[in-house]
Structure 1
């Protein structure tokens, strides 16, 4: 009769219309009409859609008979199985036993019924429908599937504390091993929910002693995770073995600490008799709290720790904060020690040595970020001797910012160690001119500048022996007495220009002058044909020496392997940079993997726990972010950071000399437009210790990771041009004209500018153009120097054109030989 209301002749259109009418019927509460209409649909897909609509709304509206009838009309087997499973779960959840019985009896095959029963068993046990649960279990034919039903059912009953359902399941299972496996899995669920009655049923059903003890442990750990202290107390009473109890408490404390359940942790600690075991448990809690930044939990737990363990507890907190670079956590702990009212902590020795290397790294990072509270709190806790030892260690490790920040906490800056070495001497030896400048500014006794160590060396002697020109100048300006022995030390160290400068200082007049250059650059013959012929010959010679792109690939692979090995050994984010990692320029004679005697391997270590933000680069959100302004490629700090980027280590055995540079990671890239000239992908920049002339508190923006990528992508001609430029800057000019002011970085910068100039003319990079490219590069360098009014500036920075590159020892001025490379 219903078909008469749809006078549509086309059956396809009519069936689609029926789907819409069925949807309207069920939404209006007319399931019988919807079902009758679905029966008239001829297209199988449309009929299945209608039936699914009826079943979906029928399950919500409790149209039980209509649901079962609609299911029988579904023709697609996969859809029917899916709907069958859905109806079984719905009937189980709602307690529709008659519908469930009909479904179980009419399943298309036993496997489908068994699978649906497995899922429905969990629901029935969870809802406490004992009769339905029994029927589901009896309907399963496959033994393995029935065991899975038992596990599901017991877990569901334990989850909702359905004691009758749990009792039924435990009574039904005849295989003791199956029963125990099911109970062991459900113990943790019951304990976490705090269902003591169900937990008792489960534990009572476990007969094997070892399994029972393990179940008590699991239950204790799970109960601790949710802070169920009373249940934890009852469970621990059943664990009599001290070793097992200690293991259980350790794991349980760790879980309780994740959720900051202090009372539960107190309960667990009270169950242990051994102080050492208690301390091990506390260690887990402390580590979790500090790594997660939950310092309120740390402080709350401290109040409950047994008095005899509180100092060790604080020590663990301090150690964890330092090793994981958690400066804020360390601040909270030190504040507590500074204002402590607890008599058990008063008068105790400081929780960490102020000379601890990891602590010094953390404090130096704080100083760079202009955070001084940790240093102030530690200085308050340590005596003068400890502060002085920390000062010497920080100078030796190159932590310039920290060393300068420590100076105000020194009662006597001229104190010496067992070898008679003062802070001034140590800073002079390592070339930390900013520390020397800061020490001289506060030195109370002018005569202290000429103090000697046990071997008779002064600070000036040490600076002369190491060739630290700027340090020597500061010392002499402050009244340091220059002696012939100091001049001899500079000569023995191979510092020829410095030696000449010191002789001039000692004698009052120069003993030698820069020889007059009688070489007219205009007389250089410019013969393109001859240049091409010589270029090809030079190219072949460089090829025979190994300066090829293929050989560079092997060099860089070896560098990458050494870098991965270094990361593994040092457990730090250490990156190999410089010519060895670049592949080009580590040796100007041959490219064979060997480092030249006058070269080294450079490492960059990103200081953990410090991320800086640059104006013009940072896109981080947050009003509290301190964005640092960049001026001439440098960031100005409130404290000195160091003028030398790297810490040198002499060659040892087969290992070449090494320079290690500690850098501070920035959150973003910088000057992205300039980076994109030679790079398709960008890198974040970092800051290194390097100051401009006459500045004491700069960090330089470093693009060393960008440069490494660019140099590694050079073709053979570009790489050979770089070798020639580096040879000119490092070997030719110093030997011919005593021009010591140019560095490898100048050669690299010139190459980048030439690459930019010819980036659209790739045909230029041919063997016959090698000498003409070299001439072009040197002319560009002369143009840069001519255009600069400052004799200390040799060229602009490639990535930051407004930032000048200074010659070596720039800013010293006076009659120092070789300062001006021009």
Structure 2
């Protein structure tokens, strides 16, 4: 309190007390009320308050001799709570003043407006001598403030060891009191790793070592969770129960989950139960296997853990290790005689999940055990089937060599490996299965046949291979399930053309049926059928059905898919400026604008928030094209995800972050969590190079990729923020500032991916949050450039040669944004900007020719300057093929952009935006249920049946009403012959 604070309310006595002027106090004490207060911030303030707050002992003594109220007019009986003189003296650490006030019978337990007593405030300011004095005066050490916190809680939370000892030594202390969050002082000490404080609490005040907090955590649980090994020893020495659990999680489970090997060792010495299960029946061994902790796993097995314990969903430690790709863990478990054939709740085995994720090294280990090769899920899917579905060619080869059943060993043709490989367009796998004598006509004349699936989706190369290998494409009746019917149902007029070339014969009656079916589908809602059908229109399907094509059957040569397409020769190629404006206009009409992109970003953020609320887990992030706003759909920005795209969900594995050696600045980084950083990757053995767990979509639900990630404590140096790049960058300063902020806001992390030849030894540093920021900052023109580039890379280049992916298009876009001045981003320049982008990509590919490496690297990573981007699955010869295709695309750019514009669909007149979060919530929130029959084909069955019924009310032209009833009777009979599995929607 200063003189200025007194303002107009000061008095001579108040000033004398404030200054410690004893003689003036003596002169004034008989002519004024020594307890007359002034009001400061709504609180009474007397002369004794002023003298005590400044530690003027003589002034305090003089005022007390003048009969001043030792409590400054504050009384517990009034219910008013204001700071007392002893409160101010304790705050200032004025020991002698406190003692004088105590001798004058000042109440040491009167609280202030927040419920804090003189003892509490003395602890706050660490005045040990005052604390001891108040305790000796019988101050209430158990007094709680308004948030249920005692002076002891406060001292422990701040690490004031001497004060804790002083309070703990009080014979009245209750050290087991809980504050508002349900934790005792010992809980605080255990969580903070304060060994000496914990010992004081136990020895001096008898703190209960087994006391559970309101959320069920014991001090030992908290110490184990945070790897405080000395505390674990101390607590178990004082008989802490090592098996008391929090929501079913024991201390040893918690230590294993967070990778604290030393804590696990200490708990094992204390005889912790290694088979203690959580409420989900998960054991410490399981969680160690899941997180790839070989040291912990080995210790638990040595201590008697059962390697075949299964959690609630039936997964064993070996199962989860195989799913996550932890090869070293699998080795340990196999050596410990873990059963490789245990089946989870839906029938999956360790071999199944290893095959699902393409963990070839693990698959090889399991085959050598040997594991049963043909065990099925409930759906009938085998390891061979899931590997075929997911495109893991090497895995399929290994299973074939091990004599796994190439037909899936099931009567459920939906799960046949050949059908799944055909549906997902895995040409190499289809050929390998056929070479291994897979039954090409399994489920002949049904929608479960391989050729039906390929025809419906539009995989012309697959159709050719299957027919060449003997697939039956004949039509038994107009209403039968044949590849021709599939092509019409899927709107695949090119497949229809191929089938006619391959010799299929279409009768007049069948032709009439197919034309009616095509008309129905063409008029149907584009949300439930292939969009290409609505673009090509009924006339093209109808024309293809009726067109005379000379069959060539067995001598049909195989051609590049692009050779079967016949661009309209009459299309007028506009000059570059005009085509730029037209492309800009078409893209804008289809919603590729900043405003619609922002709406897409908002939808992603809301979905992310919903997932966090529904899972009660904050470390879930929506990333990838859905969240980056521009590439989620290459046809229209209306919230719906492209059939060839997916929604990426990253979930961080619980535990402490990894620290980058030589980059990390963390003062307390643990040695066992420090990793080597090399060229965009960390050295971290035991993990596979398969970053995602896919959940395939359907016509109504987008596909989902779930990615597990490990936190890093910091980012490596970020390229676009380095001074030499900032100096010449065209990225707006505001965006650079946002990137700088995001480095500290969004966690750097690593995912399961590695350079060529390093699978299982390295993990890739991900900059996905920085990429999202830059993508969301793109202008309309910049976003349109990216969309056009992505179309060219995925739909044109990718179908002519393997190697380039959408990530390359994104990186080129970032480079263009950084290198291109703002004034060049105009609608008239869009063609030129695209051409420059393709040339930039071509130059990058060409530059790899003369280098000393042959691992497919072609350019620097945009954000990590010491890292590179590679041609996926490519070598030096492939790079030359990619370069040749890029030159072709640059030459054909006007025609290709015209083709692109024809695929764009304008935003609806109402500006509709689709958002269906609960279609993917279950997929994102729970363990991936793999291998179910594809939604696409399942929908095709229903579509085929319902289309037949609907065709009863639609006929060609003016004959519609006259023929409707007659067709209805015939087609309803068709529907009644369809098996139940093909029931109507």
TM bracket (short chain): 0.5 to 0.7
* Greater helix proportion: 1
Shift of 1:135: 2.3
SS at match of 2:694: strand
Structure-2 residue corresponding to 1:611: 657
Shift of 1:480: 5.2
In structure 2, relative to structure 1, the CA distance for the partners of 1:775 and 1:518 (3 Å cut) is farther
d(CA) in 2 for partners of 1:812 and 1:490?
A: 32
d(CA) in 2 for partners of 1:659 and 1:167?
A: 73
Structure-2 residue corresponding to 1:303: 237
Structure 1 residue 754 corresponds to structure 2 residue 828: no
Q: 355-364 or 529-538, which moves further after superposition?
A: 355-364
Structure-2 residue corresponding to 1:151: 84
Matches within 5 A, 1:141-540: 151-153=84-86, 165-166=101-102, 168-169=104-105, 185=117, 193=132, 198-199=137-138, 226-227=164-165, 234=172, 251=184, 253-254=186-187, 260-262=197-199, 264-265=201-202, 283=217, 285-286=219-220, 289=223, 294-305=228-239, 309-312=241-244, 318-319=250-251, 322=254, 326-328=258-260, 331-340=261-270, 345=271, 349-350=275-276, 356=282, 367=292, 372-381=294-303, 382-386=305-309, 389-396=316-323, 398=324, 400=326, 403-404=329-330, 406-407=332-333, 409-412=335-338, 414-417=340-343, 421-440=348-367, 443-445=368-370, 448=371, 450-453=373-376, 458-476=382-400, 482=406, 488-503=418-433, 505-506=435-436, 515=560, 530-540=575-585
Structure-2 residue corresponding to 1:691: 754
Structure showing greater radius of gyration is: 1
Structure 1 residue 88 corresponds to structure 2 residue 17: yes
Q: 556-565 or 248-257, which moves further after superposition?
A: 248-257
SS at match of 1:471: helix
d(CA) in 2 for partners of 1:141 and 1:311?
A: 53
Structure-2 residue corresponding to 1:55: none
Structure 1 residue 602 corresponds to structure 2 residue 648: yes
d(CA) in 2 for partners of 1:346 and 1:323?
A: 12
In structure 2, relative to structure 1, the CA distance for the partners of 1:551 and 1:361 (3 Å cut) is farther
Structure 1 residue 549 corresponds to structure 2 residue 487: no
Structure-2 residue corresponding to 1:630: 678
Structure 1 residue 769 corresponds to structure 2 residue 707: no
d(CA) in 2 for partners of 1:378 and 1:100?
A: 76
Unaligned runs of at least 5 residues, structure 2:
40-44, 123-128, 157-162, 410-415, 439-463, 469-556, 887-985
Structure-2 residue corresponding to 1:580: 626
Shift of 1:691: 2.6
In structure 2, relative to structure 1, the CA distance for the partners of 1:473 and 1:791 (3 Å cut) is farther
Query: For 1:796, which of 849, 855, 859 is the aligned residue?
Result: 859
SS at match of 1:658: strand
Q: 386-395 or 221-230, which moves further after superposition?
A: 221-230
Structure-2 residue corresponding to 1:725: 789
Structure-1 residue corresponding to 2:807: 745
In structure 2, relative to structure 1, the CA distance for the partners of 1:607 and 1:810 (3 Å cut) is farther
In structure 2, relative to structure 1, the CA distance for the partners of 1:80 and 1:539 (3 Å cut) is closer
Structure-2 residue corresponding to 1:13: none
In structure 2, relative to structure 1, the CA distance for the partners of 1:256 and 1:808 (3 Å cut) is closer
SS at match of 2:751: strand
Query: For 1:101, which of 11, 20, 26 is the aligned residue?
Result: 26
d(CA) in 2 for partners of 1:219 and 1:533?
A: 77
SS at match of 2:711: strand
RMSD, aligned CA: 5.8
In structure 2, relative to structure 1, the CA distance for the partners of 1:809 and 1:717 (3 Å cut) is same
In structure 2, relative to structure 1, the CA distance for the partners of 1:128 and 1:637 (3 Å cut) is same
**Are the equivalent residues in 2 in contact too, given 1:219–1:235 (CA < 8 A)?**
no
SS at match of 1:664: strand
Residue by residue over 1:370-398, the C-alpha shift from the partner in whole angstroms, topping out at 9 and shown as x without a partner, is x64322222334123138811213434x3
**Are the equivalent residues in 1 in contact too, given 2:649–2:707 (CA < 8 A)?**
yes
SS at match of 1:327: coil
Q: 717-726 or 383-392, which moves further after superposition?
A: 383-392
In structure 2, relative to structure 1, the CA distance for the partners of 1:409 and 1:805 (3 Å cut) is same
Structure-2 residue corresponding to 1:11: none
Structure-2 residue corresponding to 1:700: 764
Structure-2 residue corresponding to 1:6: none
**Are the equivalent residues in 1 in contact too, given 2:813–2:837 (CA < 8 A)?**
yes
Structure-1 residue corresponding to 2:941: none
Structure-2 residue corresponding to 1:562: 607
Structure-2 residue corresponding to 1:206: none
**Are the equivalent residues in 2 in contact too, given 1:311–1:348 (CA < 8 A)?**
no
Q: 349-358 or 400-409, which moves further after superposition?
A: 349-358
Shift of 1:686: 3.0
d(CA) in 2 for partners of 1:548 and 1:282?
A: 51
Residue by residue over 1:660-717, the C-alpha shift from the partner in whole angstroms, topping out at 9 and shown as x without a partner, is 2222333443353345555624455432211333432231232222221221122222
**Are the equivalent residues in 1 in contact too, given 2:182–2:214 (CA < 8 A)?**
no
Shift of 1:547: 0.9
Shift of 1:590: 0.7
Q: 424-433 or 606-615, which moves further after superposition?
A: 606-615
d(CA) in 1 for partners of 2:321 and 2:883?
A: 30
**Are the equivalent residues in 1 in contact too, given 2:781–2:825 (CA < 8 A)?**
yes
SS at match of 2:657: strand
In structure 2, relative to structure 1, the CA distance for the partners of 1:89 and 1:128 (3 Å cut) is closer
d(CA) in 1 for partners of 2:700 and 2:562?
A: 41
| TM-score in terms of structure 1 length | 0.67
d(CA) in 1 for partners of 2:27 and 2:698?
A: 86
**Are the equivalent residues in 2 in contact too, given 1:126–1:162 (CA < 8 A)?**
no
Shift of 1:584: 0.3
In structure 2, relative to structure 1, the CA distance for the partners of 1:195 and 1:288 (3 Å cut) is farther
**Are the equivalent residues in 2 in contact too, given 1:795–1:805 (CA < 8 A)?**
yes
**Are the equivalent residues in 1 in contact too, given 2:86–2:106 (CA < 8 A)?**
no
**Are the equivalent residues in 2 in contact too, given 1:154–1:183 (CA < 8 A)?**
no
d(CA) in 2 for partners of 1:821 and 1:151?
A: 85
**Are the equivalent residues in 2 in contact too, given 1:128–1:162 (CA < 8 A)?**
no
**Are the equivalent residues in 1 in contact too, given 2:658–2:712 (CA < 8 A)?**
yes
Query: For 1:670, which of 713, 716, 719 is the aligned residue?
Result: 716
**Are the equivalent residues in 1 in contact too, given 2:82–2:111 (CA < 8 A)?**
no
Shift of 1:562: 2.6
d(CA) in 1 for partners of 2:215 and 2:777?
A: 53
SS at match of 1:609: coil
d(CA) in 1 for partners of 2:180 and 2:4?
A: 58
**Are the equivalent residues in 2 in contact too, given 1:415–1:422 (CA < 8 A)?**
yes
In structure 2, relative to structure 1, the CA distance for the partners of 1:324 and 1:552 (3 Å cut) is farther
d(CA) in 1 for partners of 2:114 and 2:704?
A: 61
**Are the equivalent residues in 1 in contact too, given 2:591–2:638 (CA < 8 A)?**
yes
In structure 2, relative to structure 1, the CA distance for the partners of 1:227 and 1:728 (3 Å cut) is same
Paired residue total? 697
